[in-house]
Chains A and B, each alone.
Chain A
Amino acid sequence: SQELEQSPQSLIVQEGKNLTINCTSSKTLYGLYWYKQKYGEGLIFLMMLQKGGEEKSHEKITAKLDEKKQQSSLHITASQPSHAGIYLCGADLDSNYQLIWGAGTKLIIKP
């Protein structure tokens, strides 16, 4: 089984609607990174959440870390075409920098 499960695998959302992507770990999360993949340019860092439970927001994107559930969620409010892409979570599972990666969520925004 995977140490880091990301769901859903893909998501098609009507423009203007809200959506949530989840990242669940089988181990304690010492840090959780959210990235968005921009084609041909590498990954854009969105947010980092640290152990202890945390919530961060940037524009219309909010990420939360639920320590008890060992889970992080990324919530997008009032989705726009610019939100389309692949979202990746990376987790620090043993308190060093090395990251375990989720499989990614492909987000498509329908106009």
Chain B
Amino acid sequence: DTAVSQTPKYLVTQMGNDKSIKCEQNLGHDTMYWYKQDSKKFLKIMFSYNNKELIINETVPNRFSPKSPDKAHLNLHINSLELGDSAVYFCASSLPLAATYNEQFFGPGTRLTVL
């Protein structure tokens, strides 16, 4: 029944490793997002995909690469993890960006800790 799900819930890893976070939505939405929650709790958008195509690509290191195998999935792969990557990452989905207010449905978050 979960609308937007993320796995894993927790991810603890060593610096330099490569890891992936998966996101799936069962709402039939065309658009999916990845956000990083910063120290001020601001959810900063990282990427947005519409129908498997990259729409928004904010200034993030190219070690972060989103992958959308189909409309229902948007995975986040991170290479060469750094200490500063430690954060909570949220996935979201919505109807297409053309709407003035495209309500977004958020996943529960993945807490990434880089040691």
Contact = CB atoms under 8 A, between A and B. Distances in A.
Contact of A98 (B35, B40, B108): B108
B21 interface: no
B76 interface: no
B32 interface: no
A88 B97 CA distance: 18
Contacts of B88: 97
Interface in A22-56: 33, 35, 37, 39-45, 48
Query: Interface residue tally of chain A, by bracket?
Result: 20 to 34
Q: B-side binding surface: helix, strand, loop or mixed? A: loop
B40 to A, nearest CB: 6
Query: Interface residue tally of chain B, by bracket?
Result: 20 to 34
Contact of A45 (B9, B41, B97): B41
B101 A85 contact: yes
B94 to A, nearest CB: 10
B106 A90 contact: yes
14 contacts: A37-B104, A39-B101, A39-B102, A41-B45, A43-B35, A44-B42, A45-B41, A48-B41, A97-B109, A98-B108, A98-B109, A98-B111, A101-B106, A106-B103
Interface of A: 33, 35, 37, 39-45, 48, 85-86, 88, 90, 97-101, 103-104, 106
